[in-house]
Amino acid sequence: MVVEIHVPLLPTPNLSDGAYPFPWIEAVEDFLTGLEDQGDVEVLDEGEEYGDAHVFFVTGAGEARLLAVASRVAALPGVPTGTFAVVSDDEAEEFGLGRRVTLPLPAA
């Protein structure tokens, strides 16, 4: 099982001239790497641009845990609204072929 985290590729508003427009990408990568280092999930590859989104991939846990991680990503400061997850597997022929889940998840 793989959960794809699709984050709209929107620049962060009000940045200084010349600043990298997507600082949230590095924040998400750092967050996911920290979880991977703790053994909570596995991060597949680096995130990549796909259409109008930047997609991150997590695996190595059950669906509930992976979706909880995706929900936490969506709630990180600076991450654009409209982030969603796709529950898929590593055999999918392309991104987005699976069940779509709106993020962040409602509080339990």
Q: What integer pLDDT is reported at residue 108 of this predicted model? A: 61
Helices assigned H by DSSP within the chain: 23-37, 63-74
Beta strands in the chain (DSSP E): 2-8, 42-43, 48-50, 53-59, 84-88, 99-102
pLDDT the model gives residue 6 = 97
Q: Walk along the chain (108 residues) in steps of 10 and give the mean pLDDT of each run.
A: 96 87 94 95 90 96 96 96 93 86 88
| All domains in the chain, ordered by first residue | 2-102 (3.30.70)
Query: At 38, is the secondary structure helix, strand, or coil?
Result: coil
